[in-house]
Structure 1
């Protein structure tokens, strides 16, 4: 491919709205173009990268007996109504009606479509196990798209679905897929990806893992214990708090706290630490707008995912209005109106001498003892695990919280979808049973952006050979020089004849512009033909990461480059 023919522009300035490096570099380098919020078009370089990622995925899925299929992008709502997700999934699911007035959805995931495809096929135990997968465009109407391809609304994803007749068989296949994912990420250039236990969310199921690329710009928080190797998304990591009662228990006392609303202000006013306070966090149920108040120790934060899973319904931050029975800034667990759903976090168990809201304008209580003053309280884990917290596995106070980008996920779904859609098979003993399912996803564009985020410098991406848009970037410096141009043209043809993917830059631009564009393209191997090199009877061969810098004789360049490409593919 000639550089001058590539559609798309490259430029020096960092776009103002790009919050992470990979987003900025992929816009600057002519990889993609903004269309709408969370929606991008791909230029040829990014499409070539994604195509290679897809091929890696196909090879690894085929190696574990996967069969590639394809589901529709637009689906009848009736499929989602069978599983109940048409109503239970929030606004992320794009619903519409076709010209005949039939309810439709744009697929954001395809569990229902997968069951629909194989429902008749899988009517006997003899057909099991099997796995089907697709690489397909999906649409999820994200409320807050960000960071380029990291969080988008329209995306290409590989999703796979396995079907089994026993939990043991599912677990065995789950492990095979787990290892296949490790190979995929290693081949794509991010072997440092780690797997963490995660919350199944709307997918359902008993067990799930997310594959995370640890990076400060990640959108997920990961709890890691360096002592025992425990790893989990903070959304599902248990928060363990150990409290000790004070030797002397104070009286429950109503204290005037004028114009004081926040935990920080209350504790400052009273001269007490935040861990000696009881904080109220207010939500409302999406379906009914009923208020839910979670009481938690003042130094901790509520984990909304844990609350949602406990209630088994979606929630949103509460909007406290006049007459709702709650006083913003003064909400406490003692003498709260009966019509409010009240939940207590485990961090309050065994506490005493706490401050809390007085449920009275400008008043707070001091001396709250949970066991004495609220003996009916039941405690559940609703808190986010924190840095230095107690590890759920080894029980040591060693938890570290890191940021990460989710590049893939796997779920043990159980019979949630096969049962709701009445997919049954006849077992050996003649009884009807529901197949057990697994689900396995990888976002192709997000994986490409994650590799860029993990491997770049200030000048551009450093693509690994396995997914690079081209393998070699040939720079013809001073194409007006007949000797240089003649040699570079010949080398271009020779490299291509050896099956090497070459991006050839013979534009009449300065060396600075040429090399700057080459950095943005991120091609692993760069070959430089220039008047100075011609005088020395050689060409420069440089790797994009600068780890290799050497010269080769003019008659040896092709063989040297081919050998280098082969080495970098291993």
Structure 2
């Protein structure tokens, strides 16, 4: 490829709505152009990277035995109504009507369609196991699309779906995809972790996310640096930090706390440690045919509520909300900020976090503004909680699951997710097969997704500097740029650069020849912004000594290489990078 025949359109400044490095650099490098909020044109440079990502995914999926097909972007509402997700999925599901008034959706994912295929195509146990996948456009109507391709509305995803006879077979399919994902992200040249995760709106039980490590990541990953343990903070178990509840050591005392409506303010006013305070969070559930049920959840003052964990508790499965101020005043007789578990009537159900349940002599709201209670103890001053459960987020320094170390926390960008679905969709859509005895049985399913376009943004977040993108070799739009200085003036430069270009191309190197006759500073800055792993500079000065400059994108100083050795040297440098 010659640069003069390729569309290279870099810009110096990113638009004001580009908040993070990947968004800014993809626009500046000419990889994407915004069409509408969360919807982008992928320009030739960006599409080259996307296609390389897709090829690696396709090779590893095929190697793992998955079969590629292609499902439509537009799906009929009937399938989503069968599964129950037509009502449950929420406003991210873009619902549309055709000219006849029939309901359709733009697919955010394809569980319903693939299950429909399976129930029509798979009749016998002899056809199982099977794993179908496709790489296709998805659409999720994000309320606030942001961060470019990281949180767009239209995107490309690889989704795969396995069908098995039983749970053991499904677990084997799950493991095969888990292993394939490790190979894919390793080949992409990314620093990643596989972490235990919540299954979210997809449903199912076993679940792992593949997270690219990056400071801008929206997810918090909890991990043990000594072992392979890693989990999304939504799922990570938060242990009780107090081995045994101590006996009461203080008398109950009501203290005046004007202006102290948070645990932090109470700590400062009373000169106590934040870990001696208990925060109160009031939630409401709405059982069918009855008034809202009010719940008081208690956390240590330095801990935060984990809503995912709460949603899995008995009584919260159908959803919950934060109580209104009127509901709080009705049940507690106090405005928010001064609430606590002492003196409540039976209408309020109390749930204590594991650590709170073992606290003694703690401080909480008095249900009267502006007062708090000091020296509060379970059993003496209030009944034991209705339920004791893990309802908090892990914090750095918490003990590891094996109790032999402490947990660390880092940020990550989710780029892949594997789920074991069980029979959630096969039962809803009646996808059965005939077993060896001729009896119908529901297929066991797994679901496996990779955010193709999101990987582009995640890779940049992990690999960039003040000059631009630094691509891993495997997904760089070009591996090598051959830059001729004084292209229009020097026959020697043109001949040598062209010869090197042809030699590298014959060796299978994805190389571009910059024949645009630009000033060196402009040319070099452009390729640094674009992030090509290796730049070869051909100029009359070096050619006078039979040499050219070879510079890796991560390197500060160019290496002078004799002409006969250039191709071998470039091959060696490329091999030293993750392929």
Q: Could you tell me the TM-score, scaled by structure 1's length?
A: 0.92
Alpha-carbon offset, residue 419 of structure 1: 0.9
In structure 2, the CA distance between the partners of 1:537 and 1:396, relative to structure 1 (3 Å rule), is closer
Alpha-carbon offset, residue 566 of structure 1: 6.5
For 2:556 and 2:170, the matched residues in 1 are separated by 44
Q: Alignment partner of 1:389: what SS?
A: coil
For 2:571 and 2:287, the matched residues in 1 are separated by 62
Alpha-carbon offset, residue 271 of structure 1: 2.9
Alpha-carbon offset, residue 391 of structure 1: 1.7
1:518 has 2:521 as partner = no
For 1:339 and 1:100, the matched residues in 2 are separated by 51
Q: Which runs of 4+ in 1 moved over 6 A?
A: 286-290
**Residue 497 of structure 2: which of 482, 488, 497 is its match?**
488
In structure 2, the CA distance between the partners of 1:88 and 1:344, relative to structure 1 (3 Å rule), is farther
1:502 has 2:507 as partner = no
For 1:368 and 1:38, the matched residues in 2 are separated by 51
Contact map agreement 1:8 1:43 (CA 8 A) in 2: no
**Residue 411 of structure 1: which of 419, 434, 446 is its match?**
419
1:277 has 2:277 as partner = yes
Alpha-carbon offset, residue 287 of structure 1: 9.7
Alpha-carbon offset, residue 490 of structure 1: 4.8
For 2:575 and 2:426, the matched residues in 1 are separated by 46
**Mapping 1:317-328, distance limit 5 Å:** 317-321=322-326, 325=331, 327-328=335-336
Q: Alignment partner of 1:359: what SS?
A: coil
Counterpart residue number, 1:402: 410
For 1:503 and 1:286, the matched residues in 2 are separated by 62
For 1:180 and 1:253, the matched residues in 2 are separated by 60
Alpha-carbon offset, residue 131 of structure 1: 0.2
1:216 has 2:225 as partner = no
Aligned length: 568
Counterpart residue number, 1:297: 300
Counterpart residue number, 1:199: 198
Counterpart residue number, 2:448: 440
For 2:359 and 2:480, the matched residues in 1 are separated by 65
Counterpart residue number, 1:120: 120
1:236 has 2:235 as partner = yes
1:102 has 2:94 as partner = no
1:452 has 2:460 as partner = yes
Q: Deviations over 1:285-326 (max 9, x none)?
A: 599986544221111100111112322234455542476545
Alpha-carbon offset, residue 401 of structure 1: 1.2
For 2:32 and 2:323, the matched residues in 1 are separated by 39
In structure 2, the CA distance between the partners of 1:102 and 1:369, relative to structure 1 (3 Å rule), is farther
1:465 has 2:473 as partner = yes
In structure 2, the CA distance between the partners of 1:100 and 1:365, relative to structure 1 (3 Å rule), is farther
Counterpart residue number, 1:477: 485
Alpha-carbon offset, residue 7 of structure 1: 3.4
**Residue 392 of structure 2: which of 369, 383, 386 is its match?**
383
In structure 2, the CA distance between the partners of 1:564 and 1:8, relative to structure 1 (3 Å rule), is closer
Which structure 2 segments of 5+ residues have no match?
Answer: none
For 2:322 and 2:42, the matched residues in 1 are separated by 36
Contact map agreement 2:8 2:45 (CA 8 A) in 1: no
1:360 has 2:363 as partner = no
Q: Alignment partner of 2:311: what SS?
A: helix
Q: Alignment partner of 2:159: what SS?
A: strand
Contact map agreement 1:541 1:548 (CA 8 A) in 2: no
Contact map agreement 2:188 2:578 (CA 8 A) in 1: no
For 1:503 and 1:259, the matched residues in 2 are separated by 66
For 2:306 and 2:578, the matched residues in 1 are separated by 43
1:529 has 2:538 as partner = yes
Q: Alignment partner of 2:551: what SS?
A: strand
Q: Alignment partner of 1:260: what SS?
A: coil
Alpha-carbon offset, residue 73 of structure 1: 1.4
For 1:562 and 1:259, the matched residues in 2 are separated by 68
Contact map agreement 2:338 2:368 (CA 8 A) in 1: yes
For 2:15 and 2:463, the matched residues in 1 are separated by 20
Contact map agreement 1:348 1:370 (CA 8 A) in 2: no
Deviates more, 1:400-409 or 1:156-165: 400-409
1:10 has 2:18 as partner = no
Deviates more, 1:426-435 or 1:501-510: 501-510
Q: Alignment partner of 1:119: what SS?
A: helix
Deviates more, 1:228-237 or 1:354-363: 354-363
For 1:249 and 1:370, the matched residues in 2 are separated by 12
In structure 2, the CA distance between the partners of 1:399 and 1:520, relative to structure 1 (3 Å rule), is same
Q: Alignment partner of 2:436: what SS?
A: coil
Deviates more, 1:275-284 or 1:383-392: 275-284
Q: Give me the CA root mean square deviation.
A: 2.6
For 1:320 and 1:171, the matched residues in 2 are separated by 47
Counterpart residue number, 1:374: 383
Deviates more, 1:46-55 or 1:244-253: 244-253
Q: Alignment partner of 2:392: what SS?
A: coil
Q: Deviations over 1:370-406 (max 9, x none)?
A: 33312252111110011111222x1235111111111
Counterpart residue number, 1:309: 312
Counterpart residue number, 1:72: 72
Contact map agreement 1:526 1:543 (CA 8 A) in 2: yes
In structure 2, the CA distance between the partners of 1:340 and 1:136, relative to structure 1 (3 Å rule), is farther
